[in-house]
A and B are shown apart, each in its own frame.
Chain A
Amino acid sequence: MLCTKCGSRNVIIHRRYSGQYLCKECFIKAIQKKVLKDIKKYKLIKKSDKVLVALSGGKDSTTVLDILSILAERNIIELEVITIDEGIGDYRKKGIEYASKTCKELGIPQHIFSFKKHFKVTIDEIMASKPPRKACTYCGVLRRWIINKEAEKLGADKIATGHNLDDEVQAIVMNYLEGNIENLIRIGPTTYSQKFVTKIKPLREIPEEEVTAYAMAKGLNVHLEECPYRKTSFRKKIGTILTKLSEDHPTILYSTLRGHEKIRKALKKELEGESILRACIRCGQPAAQDLCRACTLLNEIGG
């Protein structure tokens, strides 16, 4: 097989959804071009924005940082990193080591915050107490709480996360299957709220397989271990089904994403009422009810 773009024999990827074969150089360029184009198309970043990358050390966030550093090198944006230590045994320790090494190499300031310091409890301790919910619920909600709070303190204009195409489609299918139709409105390239720093997803249209291949092809320093709590998650079950379906239907992730974009507009018109946010009575962070979601969960587990 020859590279569709330059004719090289050293092909490293076959994009079954488009029929393209690409060599290492053309693949790296294609990913960077697509991400930078999406940043423009969806107006994810403005000139001079201070962008805070939520970096775990894994393939997705490291790839986001790598591509955004192109904009930082051109002095278009200011780039910093936030890393959260949720307290997941050796898994997280290793991830932080990878993340810190990457920041050092790129000369990007890194801010590390922990669940232990903020909430006086780690994910391992929460799960050891046999709580009513799955680890991913506590982890996701509490991590977002710290990121929102600290991003504001750090004066960030945007928070960039590593969500890829597979993550987005999994979220669409999960929310649909669970009947969380209101959540479907919130899934998109940006998460904007007047009360929080805007979150952006530059890799939203890049398949997970290609994010992995990009990190490998560029020789990025990434932590490839799977979170021990992920094995039991609903997301993993949905992800496995979608990957299996993609074998015979290679365009299915893109068609689901595009379909959601159309439905989202209609749902927005039909369902969206501006939910009034107030200050959480416990932590002062924006909340839809008396307690924010993080404090509700902490209350449940007696934290």
Chain B
Amino acid sequence: MKFTLIIDDEKKTMKFREKLTIKDVLKNFNIPLEAVVIKKNGEIVIEEEQVDDGDIIEVIKVIYGG
């Protein structure tokens, strides 16, 4: 199974075999939960959300300023 990960305007195709959650994805990239907002297929989701085949996961970093 595959999903697309968009992080810092960079698109990556990620392969996975077993059940995967957003939390696992963030852990893999060493990104703290409080530092990001995640969109799955254009909708905001929480860290417990499961990643499915073909999903587009967008990591929006919580950036200081503004």
Contact = CB atoms under 8 A, between A and B. Distances in A.
A11 B35 CA distance: 18
A243 B46 contact: no
Interface residues of B, number: 20
B5 to A, nearest CB: 17
Interface string B15-49: 00000000000000000111111010001111110
A223 B60 CA distance: 12
B62 interface: yes
A4 interface: no
A105 interface: no
B65 A12 contact: no
A66 interface: no
B63 A246 contact: no
B32 A246 contact: yes
Contacts of A250: 34
A60 B46 contact: no
21 contacts: A12-B45, A12-B46, A13-B44, A13-B46, A58-B66, A60-B66, A61-B66, A62-B66, A95-B66, A166-B64, A209-B34, A209-B36, A209-B37, A212-B62, A213-B37, A216-B39, A223-B66, A224-B61, A227-B65, A243-B34, A247-B33
Listed from nearest, the 3 A-B pairs whose CB atoms lie closest are: A58-B66, A12-B44, A60-B66
